[in-house]
Structure 1
Amino acid sequence: MEVYCTRPHCPRPQNYFPDLDNITTLQAAQQKYCVSCGMPLLLDGRYLPVKLLGIGGFGAAFLARDRRIPGIPNCVVKQFQPSTSLNAAQLDLAQELFEREATVLADVGMNHDQIPYLFAFFPVVVPSLQPGRQDQFFYLVQEYIDGKNLEEELQHRGNFSETEVLVILKEILPVLQFIHDRGIIHRDIKPSNIMRRQDGRLFLLDFGSVKQVTSAKVSSASTAIYTPGFAAPEQTTRGQVFPSTDIYALGVTILTLLTGKEATELFDPQINQWRWRQEVKISPHLSGILDKMLMPAINERFSSATEVLSALIPSITIPDQPQPSNLPFKGLMVKKFSFGELLLRGAVTGFEGALIVIAVGLLVETPIIRLAISLVMVSSLVVVQSQGWLAVKDLLLILLISFLVIFLIALLPGGLDIQIVVVLGIASALICIGAITLFSLIHKILSTIL
């Protein structure tokens, strides 16, 4: 198996370990080191980079394999790798943007199936090539999308048709609305940041330039990070970004796909206008929508992605693309919680589970039916908790309601003594807390060893 060294400027990053071709050996292997520079190759004890995908402004991306998941699936490892020409302030900003990408992906990737899922974010400290020093590298690991981005498609097959760009708008606009609703501005919408998976599903990529908005007004102190030609006037001149800033960039993206020309070729700076209509023939309806998406003044542009989508409805007659039934369903991936929240959710699950079993036992006489109903209800409760569909405040409200229900249970014919119900519920909660603590400790020990 070939393993790629992630140390910047490694003289010979390709390493080959024949023993790792065996899956059993790969899953149990100890740390491997680059034969050229000594860099640890097994990242966070599980990720093995196998190929360099590309190098951007602040980092490098590698195709990697995750040995901890059956089948050793692919993933993408991004390494924070800023230019050596950056000054201290620029370096701090670059690291902030990299960490911000991980934070945003942890939120939006978990909750939307057209945004890559974040698997991990971690630092690695290694001996430097300079004697007596250490180097620290930051990595984030995300879902691998097997496909081509729209820039690659344009280069490979030529201009897109009106029908094809309508499909893109129909799929990407809801994704933009989703992130905007969470106070996130992408700031770098362009063809290379929209990926089409092999099954046709579109994904929004590269959240390294995002701006997280905390209020309705966007500060003019927003960092000026953008791709020339795609950035709206307020972004290039004042450093301001709004949801309509992303809409402007999406409009430019559609123009480049329709015409096959660079964004800078379609804009006339002398008159400060886009000159694209002579390059492609499309319906007047879509032309008018694109013109409004590209208005230089914010108040003349569409204010939201939903507004654009509503304007497009007369043009969109494209049936939904069928999705293969074997696609991974990200909605059932277990959400990550802090240890404290995990214990709280475990306690509530245990307490509520005990109440469910007691209530079903009192209301249903047939043992088999009683068991089946209890299993279904408790299993549903576990799924709801693992997905984080209920906030912490909701859990506390449920506990309060449960104590009221206990009094009702005690009033039922043949009901248990109220103290017994409370004791059984608390005992079940403590058992769940103990089990979670034990398994967390075992996981931590095994992660350290492996």
Structure 2
Amino acid sequence: MYKRPPEGGEYKIVVDRIIEIKKKLKDTDTQSKLIHAEPNGSGKYGILALESKVEINGELLLAAEQQQSIDRILNNRYRVIKKLGEGGFGLTLLAEDMQMPSHRHCVIKQLKPNTKNPKIDQSVRERFAQEAAVLEKLGEGHSQIPELYGHFEEDGLFFLAQEWIDGETLSDKVKNGGKMSEHEVKEILASLLLVLDYIHEKQIIHRDVKPQNILFRKSDSQPVLIDFGVVKETFDREVDTLGCDVTASMGTPQFMAPEQAAGRPEYASDLYSLGLTAIYLLTGIWPQELETDAQTREIVWRDRAGKVSVRFGAVLDKAIRFHPRARFKTAKEMLLALQEQITPPVASSDSRKTVATGGKKTLIFGIFAIAIIALGAGVFYLKKS
């Protein structure tokens, strides 16, 4: 039984969602009252809430939390198409930009501050604007970082509108196709090291490099780095009894470097996470499922991978050393360790028109000389520093 909204008008219920909820409530239907529809801010109707919370197999069902109303309009511009994901910091939504002639798809990040203190909210608001400006500059300067289209605040929530990347995450790629070859992983690693070198030059630490945050773009087969932790950190602050905000360590524990877990991230922390990501691609096994050496406290992985050359294995071993001083100091240095085995793709740091190899073997020989010159310059710079 459904409750009709007052004042008549269009009555639009997301039928598939009702069926999904009803299936989950099949054995405990007496615990729920009604699934009802009410008007929302856009004038459309959607499933907004169950009138009671129902726990089934440990899962707390509340339609308001599980379903964003179809056709919801954000900032009088972005129409929500579906929910892409949900995490501790908020929601990720797929939307279309109603103000663009193409109605291009975009990703909306809905972020909610971890406090109700008005003074802290103002501080969060200021930081949010600052960090959004950082994301805008990063996206404008590199084709393997999503562009930021805009940011706004609505109903006490903060939103980012970003470029939608049509592609598959590396975690899904392994899930669907199995572990990757050394050659494939080297190419992905070299490409991402150029991206990390670019953001590190801007004095930014990504903080959440992992397979789920790397999209393999369909259009050019290039890896794209998404979900920078720099903004999520702003919304993951806890407030102590004196009203001071304390930042928790940002990132995903199983891919997080030890110093980052202790709240002291550095550039080498991103290289550690990238090294673990490469090991996951080679083994198909999550880091927490691999053994750890009791003496060195480092992950033991080689026996779980396929055929891996001694040199490449040594590069990855150095990237995931427990102590950051024992790792590569920069992305350039790690890239140089790979250059004897492959020719990495060349990317421009100050233009979105970066070179995309995308598996086009004919380009590799053409860029060989340029790559060696660029890498040599990087070594000279490091030595001078």
Asked whether the two chains share a fold, i.e. TM above 0.5, the reply is yes
Shift of 1:170: 1.4
Q: Is the Cα contact below 8 Å between 1:118 and 1:140 reproduced in 2?
A: yes
Distance in structure 2 (CA, Å) of the matches to 1:59 and 1:232:
24
Q: Give the letter aligned to residue 223 of structure 2.
A: L
- The equivalent residue for 1:115 is 145
Shift of 1:140: 1.0
Q: Does 1:58 align with 2:77?
A: no
Q: Does 1:268 align with 2:268?
A: no
Q: CA 1:299 to 1:12, structure 2 compared with 1: closer, same or farther past 3 Å?
A: farther
> Which of the residues 223, 226, 235 maps onto 1:202?
223
Q: CA RMSD in A?
A: 3.5
In structure 2, stretches of 5+ residues that fail to align are: 1-11, 15-34, 50-68, 234-245, 355-385
Shift of 1:262: 1.0
Q: Is the Cα contact below 8 Å between 1:108 and 1:115 reproduced in 2?
A: yes
> Which of the residues 275, 299, 320 maps onto 2:325?
299
Q: Does 1:151 align with 2:151?
A: no
Aligned residues: 282
- The equivalent residue for 2:132 is 102
Q: CA 1:161 to 1:207, structure 2 compared with 1: closer, same or farther past 3 Å?
A: same
Q: How does 1:9-158 map to 2 (within 5 A)?
A: 32-35=43-46, 41-81=72-112, 102-125=132-155, 136-158=156-178
SS in 1 for 2:152: strand
Q: Give the letter aligned to residue 340 of structure 2.
A: P
Q: Is the Cα contact below 8 Å between 1:179 and 1:185 reproduced in 2?
A: yes
Distance in structure 1 (CA, Å) of the matches to 2:37 and 2:205:
36
SS in 2 for 1:174: helix
SS in 1 for 2:251: coil
Distance in structure 2 (CA, Å) of the matches to 1:112 and 1:175:
8
Q: CA 1:70 to 1:175, structure 2 compared with 1: closer, same or farther past 3 Å?
A: same
Q: Is the Cα contact below 8 Å between 1:3 and 1:14 reproduced in 2?
A: no
> Which of the residues 267, 273, 278 maps onto 1:254?
278
- Select the structure of larger CA radius of gyration: 1
Q: Is the Cα contact below 8 Å between 2:136 and 2:148 reproduced in 1?
A: yes
Distance in structure 2 (CA, Å) of the matches to 1:13 and 1:52:
19
- The equivalent residue for 1:312 is 338
SS in 2 for 1:185: coil
SS in 2 for 1:53: strand
- The equivalent residue for 1:26 is none
SS in 2 for 1:120: strand
Q: Give the letter aligned to residue 46 of structure 1.
A: R
Shift of 1:37: 5.1
Provide TM-score, normalisation by structure 2.
Answer: 0.65
- The equivalent residue for 2:359 is none
Which digits, 9 at most, give the CA deviation of each residue in 1:108-129, with x for residues without a partner? 011111100001101123xxxx
Q: How does 1:426-437 map to 2 (within 5 A)?
A: none
Which digits, 9 at most, give the CA deviation of each residue in 1:362-383, with x for residues without a partner? xxxxxxxxxxxxxxxxxxxxxx
SS in 2 for 1:103: helix
Distance in structure 2 (CA, Å) of the matches to 1:146 and 1:282:
31
Shift of 1:316: 0.8
- The equivalent residue for 2:263 is 239
Q: Give the letter aligned to residue 303 of structure 1.
A: K
Distance in structure 1 (CA, Å) of the matches to 2:352 and 2:330:
26
Q: Is the Cα contact below 8 Å between 1:3 and 1:41 reproduced in 2?
A: no
Distance in structure 1 (CA, Å) of the matches to 2:298 and 2:252:
18
- The equivalent residue for 1:370 is none
Distance in structure 2 (CA, Å) of the matches to 1:43 and 1:274:
45
Distance in structure 1 (CA, Å) of the matches to 2:324 and 2:76:
48
Q: Does 1:172 align with 2:192?
A: yes
In structure 1, stretches of 5+ residues that fail to align are: 5-10, 16-29, 126-135, 213-220, 322-328, 333-450
Distance in structure 2 (CA, Å) of the matches to 1:210 and 1:288:
34
Q: Is the Cα contact below 8 Å between 1:186 and 1:207 reproduced in 2?
A: yes
Q: Which has the higher contact order (CA 8 A, sep 6+)?
A: 2
Distance in structure 1 (CA, Å) of the matches to 2:198 and 2:352:
16
Q: CA 1:264 to 1:41, structure 2 compared with 1: closer, same or farther past 3 Å?
A: same
Distance in structure 2 (CA, Å) of the matches to 1:81 and 1:34:
24
Q: Is the Cα contact below 8 Å between 1:3 and 1:49 reproduced in 2?
A: no
Higher helix share: 1
- The equivalent residue for 1:230 is 255
Shift of 1:33: 3.5
Shift of 1:49: 0.6
Q: Give the letter aligned to residue 101 of structure 2.
A: P
Distance in structure 2 (CA, Å) of the matches to 1:14 and 1:204:
39
Q: Give the letter aligned to residue 190 of structure 1.
A: K
SS in 2 for 1:123: strand
Shift of 1:79: 0.9
